[in-house]
Structure 1
Amino acid sequence: MSRRTPNANALFSEQWLTLREPADHLARDAQLTHAADSWLTRHADPSRPLEARRTIVDLGCGSGSNLRYLAPRLHGAQHWRLVDHDEELLASARLRCQYLVSADAQPIHLESVNLSLADTLEETLQGAYLVTASALFDLLTADDIGALADACQRSGCAVLFALSIDGLIRFHDASGSALYGDDDRFMLAALQAHQHRDKGDGPAMGSEAPRRLRESFRHRGYHIREAASPWQLGPESLPLAEALMAGWREALHQQLPQQRDRVDQWHARRLDDLLRERVTLTVGHRDLLATPSDRTRSGARA
């Protein structure tokens, strides 16, 4: 349940997670984080122990990038439950995040849970006020997202899900005009089809994840706020862009095995454009904040 590498069949790499972290943090919508902080402050239970008044579950936490972004921007003592199927990444997250403090210098308590999303959600979300994840949901199925929304509704928690891919990929020239020739259209349509391939439990959501998340939580009585959070990759982000395009090339080889030469020519041309700083690259994402109605919370906490 770690956040994905460019190649959906590769092992989840701490090197990839580290490479993408600056772009992730820069892209995220600050207003949704502020709104989540306000919601937590209003709903923290003063009868609970100090460190448990803001219990936050981070699904697919990887090496802790989501925690490193959010914890210093949220107020009050926080108890973070880090959930991932990769024990090595969990150990890295604990090590790299152990000295974090909140926005008002309150302590951050860490708990790690070695589970996948296929494991029991009820136990994972027990006591949670906020469930968060980053760059996770394109890998999941519609049933996975429905099951998660059900579990969140039963617990009465809010959710803050960042950086779900939305299918927008564009190269731009120096004037900012989008470059979208026949090869770009062909390759990016094939890449989107690859993102929807079955990862083991049914077709993955791919770029449909933001819509499915929005509809699933709205259907369960949540108030929805969304924001765009695109990567804008320019000269300062060339290592990330190069790694991303290498992953796309491999995915396209899988999707278009009879057109490897065309894939390689497109990849080489666009990569050269990036390396020579003739183009920049935009990769679209969406952030979602969903907060339960008072009726949903009272039913869940009863």
Structure 2
Amino acid sequence: MNTVGSPRYAPEWLALREDADARARAERLLGPLRDHLARGSAPDGALTVCDLGCGTGSMGRWLAARLGGPQRWFMNDRDPALLEDIAARMPQRSADGSAVEVVPQQRDITQLTAGDLEGVGLVTASALLDLLTADEVESLAAACASAGSAVLLALSVEGRVELDPYDPLDADFAAAFDAHQRRADGGRRLLGPDAVEAATAAFERNGARVFTESSPWQLGPDDRALTGQWLLGWVAAACAQDPSLEAASGEYLRRRIETCEAGGLRAVVGHRDLLALPADAAGGGPAGTASL
């Protein structure tokens, strides 16, 4: 068994996780987001959305059809292969039947500025926030505040994994994985499970009102393929962080994969979604944090 596996962000992996992502995203955040967007329509009536690290477009496929009115989606990713034919994979109509326009853009989203967001009503991303550094999150919050953009960041890891049935090694792999998520990567110290807390503070410092909501993956017998691939990646990352776990990883994975393939393994993988609304459009009150 290969514990390293294929790249986590290959199109195959993104396709495998899309259904679980869609089930997990916090729909309750859409209420305050819709209220905000209704108060700030663009002159032409269209909502301009900037999707950061869009991958194959799963966030757009989930969100565009849940928001009304004409929409213009700028799909940003640094991998040109993921942007190929992305317009054809997006919905053509919004929730009320209005047109959805899609514009792919190859770019490094860590270099985003307020000027890049001029006229953007909504900045969104999925499974991205925990891959940023504290400085990058601060820069993103400042750019969105300057542009007056609302922000919806979905599926950021929060360092909680629950596996049923329990295995004595679960906690060791979980701790090593969390440490790997916080690793220094090419001189960048990633936020990992600390991302939502850091982003909440950054957006509040820039005057936004922040809402957060739990959005865990809840994987059961119908998710065997995803759970199995997630386990391989989870254990591989843990071993990369703590090589002392390598000796136990093979037997651990054998037990876990056998149980998974038999339909007996359930997993809860903690994520959290964050909505940040400009203070002057969030009810007029002071900035603050709310869990819906």
**Do both proteins adopt the same fold according to a TM-score greater than 0.5, normalized to the shorter chain?**
yes
Counterpart in the other structure of 2:218: 232
The answer to whether the 8 Å contact 2:221/2:264 transfers is: no
Cα separation, 2, equivalents of 1:118 and 1:39: 26
Amino acid at match of 1:37: R
Change (3 A) 1:201 1:107: farther
Displacement of 1:137? 1.2
1:191–1:251 Cα contact (<8 Å) kept: yes
Paired amino acid for 1:129: G
Q: State the match for 1:75 in structure 2.
A: 68
CA contact (8 A) 2:119 2:147 kept: yes
Partner SS for 1:12: coil
Higher alpha-carbon deviation: 214-223 or 238-247: 214-223
Equivalent position to 1:287, from 273, 280, 284: 273
Match of 2:170 among 177, 184, 189: 184
Q: Specify the alignment match of 1:84 in structure 2.
A: 77
Q: CA deviation at 1:172?
A: 2.2
Taking the aligned partners of 1:286 and 1:35, their CA distance within structure 2 comes to 17
Query: Are residues 37 and 20 of structure 1, via their aligned partners in 2, closer, same or farther at CA, if it must alter by over 3 Å?
Result: same
Separation of aligned partners in 1, 2:112 and 2:279: 24
Distance 1:124 1:190, change over 3 A: same
Partner of 2:229: 243
Distance of 2:36 and 2:243 partners within structure 1: 49
Aligned pair in 2 of structure 1 residues 295, 16: CA closer, same or farther (>3 Å)? closer
Distance 1:213 1:40 in 2: 21
- Using the TM superposition, name which of 129-138 and 275-284 deviates more: 275-284
Map 1:212-227 → 2, pairs under 5 A: 212-227=198-213
Matches within 5 A, 1:95-134: 95-97=88-90, 99-134=91-126
- Partner secondary structure for residue 121 of structure 1: coil
SS at match of 1:154: helix
Cα distance in structure 2, aligned partners of 1:164 and 1:91: 25
Residue of structure 2 equivalent to 1:34:
31
Counterpart of 1:176 in structure 2 is none
Any gaps of 5 or more consecutive residues in structure 1?
A: 1-5, 174-178
Question: For the Cα contact (< 8 Å) 2:224–2:263, is it kept in 1?
Answer: no
**RMSD (Å), alpha carbons:** 2.3
Deviations 1:180-211 (A, max 9, x none): x5411111101111111112242111111111
Match status 1:208 vs 2:194: yes
Aligned residues: 282
Task: Give the TM-score, by structure 2 length.
Answer: 0.90
Which letter maps to 2:67?
L
Whether contact under 8 Å (1:125, 1:152) holds in the other structure is: yes
Report percent identity of matched pairs. Answer: 36
- After TM superposition, what 4+ stretches of structure 1 lie above 6 angstroms from structure 2? 6-9
1:42 Cα deviation after fit: 1.4
Distance 2:123 2:4 in 1: 26
Q: Secondary structure at the match of 2:213?
A: strand
Which stretches in structure 2 are left out of the alignment for 5+ residues? 285-292
- TM-superposed CA distance for 1:237, in Å, is 0.6
TM-score between both structures, scaled by the size of structure 1: 0.87
How has the CA–CA distance of structure 1 residues 150 and 14 changed in structure 2, closer, same or farther, with 3 Å as cutoff?
A: same
Deviations for 1:271-294, whole angstroms, at most 9, x for unmatched residues?
A: 222222223000000011110111
Deviates more, 1:250-259 or 1:136-145: 250-259
Q: Corresponding residue for 2:14?
A: 17
Q: For 1:246, give the aligned amino acid.
A: L
Question: What is the CA distance between 1:295 and its match in structure 2?
Answer: 8.0
